[in-house]
Amino acid sequence: MSFLEIKDLSKSFGSVNVLDRVTLSINKGSVIGLVGDNGAGKSTLMKIVTGIHKPTSGSILLEERELTRISTSEIRLLGIEMIYQDLALARQQDISSNIFLGREPVKKLFGINLGLVDKQKMDKDSIKIIEDLGAKVPSVEYQAGLLSGGQQQTIAIARALTFSPKLVIMDEPTAALAVKEVQHVLELILKLKSEGISVILISHRLNDIFEVCDRILVLRQGQIVADVIKAKTSMNQIVSYIVGAE
């Protein structure tokens, strides 16, 4: 069933029209590839979905609830998470501190908040999340900045999962990874799908898009120029849409 509906969405910055009447729907538990050249409007569209930008016109409905009038924090609580290309990790902190960054569990005594971080619970819960993802890290007390690119991506995904998301948006998650690490991230995306979590994958790597996505959306100059089922298209045709030859 369709649970995210974007209808006639437009966005202008001054006299520059970045998005022009974008309409699309996303089903629960599906993986959508969002592709397009630099400047096509991909990031702006996703920043509107997550509440960072407000649209000039149009609407976004998550399970029939309007999102364009509420805050980023409220949208996150409703189940939309975005993992940015820079991952936004505190690289001097350990893994569990990154997974629970900003919402650390605290110790309580007879129900009274003692104001002290419950590091033991953080570590225990972090281990479970990472194990559930099938990922491998040296230790949850290991410094995040010393991890490989693929392991850091895993930590960013683990952090997103602590919000119990319904939709995870991933911005170029495999751009700087080695081949083996790319495969692991793609496997994590399919694992999210198997758990009923929808994923929007923004990527210039069409091989990745064709490996894990159900549908492919092509943005060009702020408009959706293609919305196709992966099985009914080809890489050459998607490239043609991207460059405007189709």
pLDDT band at 134 (very low <50, low <70, confident <90, very high): confident
Find the domain containing 140 and state its range.
89-164
The predicted model scores a pTM of 0.89
Indicate whether 200 and 185 sit together in one domain.
yes
pLDDT digits (tens, 9 = 90+) for 175-216: 878 888 889 889 989 999 999 999 999 999 999 999 999 999
Residues 177 and 245 placed together within one structural domain of the fold: yes
Which CATH number does the domain housing residue 62 bear?
Answer: 3.40.50.300
Among 144, 164, 184, give the residue marking a domain's end.
164
Together in a domain, 57 and 100: no
Whether 111 has a pLDDT exceeding 80, the answer reads: no
What's the pLDDT at 235? 95
Do 101 and 69 lie in a common domain?
no
**50 plus 148 within the same structural domain:** no
Q: How far apart are CA 23 and CA 60, in angstroms?
A: 9
**What would the mean pLDDT of 111-116 be, rounded to a whole number?**
75
CA 92, CA 105: separation in Å to the nearest integer?
20
CA 111, distance to chain mean position in Å, is 35
- pLDDT the model gives residue 88: 82
Say what the pLDDT of residue 1 is.
54
How far apart, in whole angstroms, are the C-alpha atoms of residue 77 and residue 158? 16
Q: Are residues 123 and 150 in the same domain?
A: yes
Task: Provide the Cα torsion 205, 184, 105, 123; round to 10°.
Answer: -150
The number of folded domains in the chain is: 2
Residues 53 and 99 in one domain: no
Domain shared by 155 and 172, yes or no? no
Instruction: Classify residue 24: in a domain, yes or no.
Output: yes
